[in-house]
Each structure stands twice: as structure tokens, then as C-alpha cells.
Structure 1
Amino acid sequence: VVCLPRGSHPIVHYFLCLHKSLFPIRNLKDLDPKMVNRVGLMDAQRRERFGQAVRLLEHASEIIVYDHHVDQSSDVNATDFVIEKVGSATTIVVEKLQKAMEKARKGSSRGEISWTAVIDKKVPMPYLPDTHVTLLALGIHADTGSLNFDSSTPRDARALAWLMEQGASQQAIAEFTHTALSPEQKTALLEAFGRLNQ
């Protein structure tokens, strides 16, 4: 179950809205905290960042924090912390996915799953749908300013490259990361240019 109690970056939000049938996001009020036993916290490690969702932590037996804000201290009683200096917390998740898929593929070559079974489509190889890898790529683009922010790292770039190899849609990324100026921004820009030309 995915819940976004504080929302998401606008480019991620628009993509999720367009593909809402593929990414069933639950409303916080629909979740019974007593039924939640595992919680993964993304891109934050302070309780105030989770708003009303902090109540989901009360009954969870497992809480994993994935974050890239290495300069913050956590006030979450997590069972595991994965906090690394990268431009995007999504990069950490992508690297974990990449390792898991490599492990599954290696397991297949050791005979745990025969290649003939894969070829005959009896056993599928690990696969991520294009929309999922595109969403992950958008997450990295949102956090790193498309790798333009100073906090961007080579790991973020490698994660994006791997997502491209997995089928991330460059067309969708270009469409959703292109942000047009708001009417107010256009007016301010025109006024600034006008002052420059005086």
C-alpha cells in the first residue's frame, strides 16, 4: 500500500494522476494503523515531515527509513536506516532494485531456474514495467533538478542510466520535467527584461 501523506513533487504528482490505475495510492484516512505492520519512509526521517501519517508508526513492527539528507538526525524509532549522500532518495531504491534483479538473474544462471523455463515463458525473468521505471526516473529528476543541483551525484546519474536501460520513457520524462512559467512568473520576467532595456 502506498500513501503520500504530504503529497509529492508536482512532476511526480502529475504522472501519478495520469497513471492512477497503475499506482493505487491510498488515502491516509482509509488506513487502519492497527493493520499496518511494515512502514517504509521515503525522503524524510523527522516525524514532523509525515503529518498525520505519523500515527502509522505506532503499531508497525518494522520501520525502514530511506533518505538522502545525511545532515539531519532522526526522531523515528526505525528498525533500519538507509541514509546515504546522494541527490535523491529514489537513487537508493533504484540501486536496491538493481541489485535484487541482478541477484535474481544470477540465481537463474546457477540452475535455480532453468533458462529453458524462462525461454519457454514458464518462469518470467525479473521485470519492471516501463511506467514504473519512468516514475522512478521522474523521482530522481525532481530531487536533483535533472542532475543540475549541486547535491546531484554520479550515483544519481548511474541510476538514471539504468532506468533508461530498463525502458524509462524519455518522452514522458521530457514532458513531465518541462515546467512552463506561471502567468505571474512571465509578468515578472517581462518586467525585469523591460527594466534591463531602459
Structure 2
Amino acid sequence: MDVITTHLNADFDGLASMVAGRKLYPGASLVLPAGAQEPVRSFLAVHDVGITRLKDLDVTQVTRLILMDAHEPDRLGPLKALWDNRKVLVHIYDHHPLSEALARAEYTLTDSVGATVTLLIEQLKAKGIPLTPFEATVLATGLYEETGFMAFCSTTPRDLEAAAYVLRMGADLTAVTDTLKRPLDPAQITLLNDLL
């Protein structure tokens, strides 16, 4: 059995990369190692992307661990046991700086782009694997969150091309912005009041 996961305290790039990964590894189980950021939890409370609960995972059946937006075993929480099991193959997709951990992987796809999901979108496009509008929207959400709506200095032309592709696949930018809206925190409200 294939398991696709991401880092502890999952963000939208990790979640979107997992959703994209399942298109490349049909039948794989999506498993969050432990916890997710509040916006991701809120999203998952409303949208079913097919997450398998960790407690429902039979780790004895796992033959391949596919890491999205992560390559450090210490960021896998309870799924680190799969990393430590040398009978389990490891595939890694990541846009973060590389480490010696990559030597453990049977397959890696890493590059300096603004978001890991960009690498997955490129793979889906190259293989001609279609996306539903919902899937395209999830991928766009990860892409836009990780690149700061394409404004972070780590954003590359490849990220913009990936965004164009998911838009052509039917991504709903209104849904993306609604999902990523963040209310002001108390400190920001105080600062705003002081400025007024």
C-alpha cells in the first residue's frame, strides 16, 4: 500500500501536494502525520479530500511512503516509523533546501520553486493527467498560499505557469481567496486602532 503524507502541522502546500500526488499514485492513502494549520483544519472540516485517519492506517501494509513538501524524518511525527522501516520505499517531492535525508529515498523530485505543488502540477501536465475543478482549486490554494499570492521573492516563472495550468483546469480563484482569507489578529487590530 502507498501512503502519501506531508510534514507535521500541515499547510496548504503540503495538502495540495498530497492531493496532486494521489493523481500520480492512484489508490494511495492520504494521511496527515499529526495536526494541520488552522486554515487547513477548517478547510478539511468542510471538504472531503479523502484523508485516512492515522489511527485507521495499517502500517504493516505500507510498502511505499511518499513525502510531499517534506524530506526530514523528524517532521513526520508518528509516520517516522515508516521512514525507519527499510522495507518501505521512500519517494520525496519538495521545494525546500536539500539535506542528507534524500539519500534514503528511492525517488526524489526537488527543485527551487515557490511551492512543492508546482512540481506536482508540472508532472500532472506532462503526463496528461486531468484534474477536476475541485482538485484544481485545491492545488491552486496550496500554490497561492505558499507563494503569497505570487508575491514572495521565492516565486518563480514555473509557479506562474503552474497557476495558469490549474486555472485552465477550472480552479476557482474566488474559492481560493475565500479559503486563504485571514482575519486580523488582536495585535494587528490594536495597531490599526492606534494608527486611526
Instruction: Tell me the distance in 2 between the aligned counterparts of 1:49 and 1:152.
Output: 24
One-letter code aligned to 2:101: D
Instruction: Tell me the distance in 1 between the aligned counterparts of 2:190 and 2:68.
Output: 36
One-letter code aligned to 2:77: G
1:39 aligns with 2:61: no
Question: Over aligned residue pairs, what C-alpha RMSD do you find?
Answer: 1.9
**Aligned counterpart in structure 2 of residue 65 of structure 1, from 92, 97, 102:** 92
CA contact under 8 A between 2:82 and 2:88: conserved in structure 1?
Answer: no
Alignment partner, residue 48 of structure 1: 74
Aligned-pair identity in percent equals 34
1:154 aligns with 2:181: no
Q: Count the aligned residue pairs.
A: 166
Matches within 5 A, 1:16-165: 16-20=44-48, 23-57=49-83, 58=85, 61-69=88-96, 71-75=97-101, 77-101=104-128, 127-165=130-168
Instruction: Tell me the distance in 2 between the aligned counterparts of 1:173 and 1:14.
Output: 13
Cα distance, 1:37 vs. partner?
0.9
Cα distance, 1:32 vs. partner?
1.9
CA deviation map 1:78-129 (0-9, x unaligned)? 111111010000000110001111xxxxxxxxxxxxxxxxxxxxxxxx5321
**Aligned counterpart in structure 1 of residue 182 of structure 2, from 179, 183, 198:** 179
- Specify the SS of the correspondent of 1:75: helix
- Specify the SS of the correspondent of 1:40: strand
Q: 1:143 to 1:9 in 2, by over 3 A?
A: farther
CA deviation map 1:55-88 (0-9, x unaligned)? 123265421100001x330425111111101000
Q: 1:33 to 1:46 in 2, by over 3 A?
A: same
CA deviation map 1:146-183 (0-9, x unaligned)? 11111111101110110000000111012112222123
Q: Using structure 2 for the length normalisation, give the TM-score.
A: 0.77
What runs of 5+ residues in structure 1 fail to find an aligned partner? Answer: 102-125
Cα distance, 1:13 vs. partner?
3.8
CA contact under 8 A between 1:36 and 1:60: conserved in structure 2?
Answer: no
Instruction: Tell me the distance in 2 between the aligned counterparts of 1:184 and 1:60.
Output: 49
Instruction: Tell me the distance in 2 between the aligned counterparts of 1:37 and 1:159.
Output: 30
When Rg is computed on C-alpha atoms for both structures, the one with the higher figure is: 1
Q: Using structure 1 for the length normalisation, give the TM-score.
A: 0.76
CA deviation map 1:4-42 (0-9, x unaligned)? 11444544443332212xx12112222122111121101
- Specify the SS of the correspondent of 2:91: strand
CA contact under 8 A between 1:45 and 1:74: conserved in structure 2?
Answer: no
CA contact under 8 A between 1:9 and 1:142: conserved in structure 2?
Answer: no
